[in-house]
C-alpha cells in the first residue's frame, strides 16, 4: 500500500494520455499534483478541477513550454513556490515525427531532442537540490521500447529515448546513497493521441480501415497484440514511488507486450 499523502508530484505532458493517467494515479494515493501540457484551456481546467474533486488533493496547472531551459526550470520553480517542494518528478512530455534520416528536418530533430531529452535533464537539474533539501525524492523518466531498440524513420525519437535511459542511469548513480531514486519506464505501443496519429497515417497510406491499421501496427512489433494501458504505466510509477522500490535504481522497466523479448 503506497501512501503519498503530502507529497508533491510534477508530471510533464499530463493534460492527456499517459501523463494524465499518472497524475490521476498519484492523486489517488494522496499526492498533490502539478499537471503540464498544451490543449484546450476549458478541457484542461475541467481535468484539473476533476482531480481535486475526485481525490481531495491540490492540483495546479502550468503551461510552461518545455522545449526551452527557461520554460522547463520555471515549471519546477513555480511548483516549489506554490506547493513548497517537489517530491516526485515524472518526465513524460513527448512528440513524434517520422522521416528517413537523410530527409529528417533539422527543426523537428532539434524540437524532439529539446523536449524529450534536454527538458528532462533541465528538470532533474532544477529539482535535485529541492529533493536533497527535503531528504526524499522519486524521478521517473518515461522512455520507450525505442529507448532499447530502434525502428526506421524515427531517428530523433529513438535517439532521445536512448539518451533518456542514459540520463536515468547517471542520475541514479549520483543519488545512490540518498533517499532519491531515478528509473525509466519503457512502454511499447500505448493507445495515446500520438499513436492514434500513426494509426491514421497507416490507414491512409494503405487504404485500410482504422481497426485494420491498429492491428497492423500492433502485430508488426508487439507479440501480445494488445496495447499497453496508460493505467498500467501509472500503476508502475506509483510502485516506484513506494518504499518497497527504494532499491530499484537506474533501471529501464519494460512494459511492451513482449516486443523486446523477440
**Distance (Å, whole) CA 148 – CA 153:** 16
CATH number at residue 133: 3.40.50.720
The answer to whether position 159 is within a domain reads yes
pLDDT at 104: 98
Instruction: State yes or no: pLDDT of 199 exceeds 80.
Output: yes
Kindly state whether residues 81 and 207 are assigned to the same domain: no
pLDDT surpasses 90 at 1: no
- Confidence at residue 193, expressed as pLDDT on a 0 to 100 scale: 77
Q: Decide if pLDDT at 121 tops 80.
A: yes
pLDDT, tens digit (0-9, with 9 covering 90-100), for 130-160: 999 999 999 999 999 999 999 999 999 999 9
* Residues forming the active site: 157
Q: What is the mean pLDDT of residues 66-70?
A: 98
For the chain, what's the residue count? 262
CA distances from 143 to 92, 151, 174, 196, 227 (A): 8, 15, 20, 18, 16
The answer to whether the beta carbons of residues 136 and 148 sit under 8 Å apart is no
Determine the Cα–Cα distance for residues 249 and 168; give it in Å rounded to an integer. Answer: 9
Q: How confident is the model at residue 98 (pLDDT cuts 50, 70, 90)?
A: very high
Do 116 and 209 lie in one domain? The reply is no
pLDDT bracket for residue 194 (50, 70, 90): confident
Q: Are both 52 and 80 inside the same structural domain?
A: yes
Same domain, 150 and 121: yes
Range of the domain at 216: 190-227
Q: Could you tell me the pLDDT band of residue 195, with boundaries at 50, 70 and 90?
A: confident
Would residue 262 count as lying in a domain?
no
| Among the listed residues 187, 183, 177, the one whose alpha carbon sits nearest the alpha carbon of residue 21 | 187
Please, are residues 75 and 119 in contact by the beta-carbon 8 Å criterion? no
The reply to whether 261 falls in a domain is no
For residues 210 and 90, membership in a common domain is answered with no
Number of domains within the chain: 2
Task: Say yes or no to pLDDT of 122 above 90.
Answer: yes
Range 247-250, long-range pairs (CB < 8 A, 24+ positions): 248/181, 248/183, 249/172, 249/175, 249/176, 249/181, 249/182, 249/183, 250/168, 250/169, 250/171, 250/172, 250/173, 250/182, 250/183
pLDDT at 192 over 90: no
Amino acid at each position: 500500500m503506497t501512501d503519498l499523502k503530502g507529497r508533491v508530484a510534477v508530471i510533464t505532458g499530463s493534460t492527456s494520455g499517459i501523463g494524465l493517467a499518472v497524475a490521476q494515479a498519484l492523486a489517488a494515493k494522496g499526492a498533490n499534483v502539478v499537471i503540464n501540457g498544451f490543449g484546450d484551456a476549458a478541457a484542461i481546467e475541467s481535468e484539473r478541477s476533476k482531480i481535486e474533486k475526485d481525490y481531495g488533493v491540490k492540483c495546479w496547472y502550468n503551461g510552461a513550454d518545455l522545449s526551452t531551459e527557461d520554460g522547463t526550470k520555471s515549471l519546477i520553480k513555480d511548483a516549489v513556490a506554490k506547493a513548497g517542494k517537489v517530491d516526485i518528478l515524472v518526465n513524460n512530455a513527448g512528440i513524434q515525427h517520422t522521416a528517413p534520416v537523410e530527409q529528417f528536418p533539422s527543426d523537428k530533430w532539434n524540437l524532439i531532442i529539446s523536449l524529450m531529452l534536454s527538458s528532462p535533464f533541465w528538470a532533474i537539474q532544477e529539482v535535485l537540490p529541492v529533493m536533497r533539501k527535503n531528504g526524499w525524492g522519486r524521478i521517473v523518466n518515461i522512455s520507450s521500447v525505442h529507448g532499447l531498440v530502434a525502428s526506421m524513420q524515427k531517428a530523433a525519437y529513438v535517439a532521445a529515448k536512448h539518451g533518456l535511459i542514459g540520463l536515468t542511469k547517471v542520475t541514479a548513480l549520483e543519488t545512490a546513497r540518498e533517499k532519491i531514486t531515478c528509473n525509466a519506464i519503457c512502454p511499447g505501443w500505448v493507445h495515446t493521441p500520438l499513436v492514434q496519429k500513426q494509426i491514421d497515417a497507416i490507414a491512409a497510406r494503405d487504404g485500410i480501415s482504422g481497426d485494420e491499421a491498429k492491428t497492423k501496427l500492433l502485430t508488426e512489433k508487439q507479440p501480445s497484440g494488445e496495447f499497453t494501458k496508460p493505467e498500467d504505466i501509472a500503476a508502475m510509477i506509483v510502485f516506484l514511488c513506494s518504499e518497497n522500490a527504494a532499491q530499484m535504481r537506474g533501471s529501464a522497466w519494460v512494459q511492451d507486450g513482449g516486443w523486446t523479448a523477440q
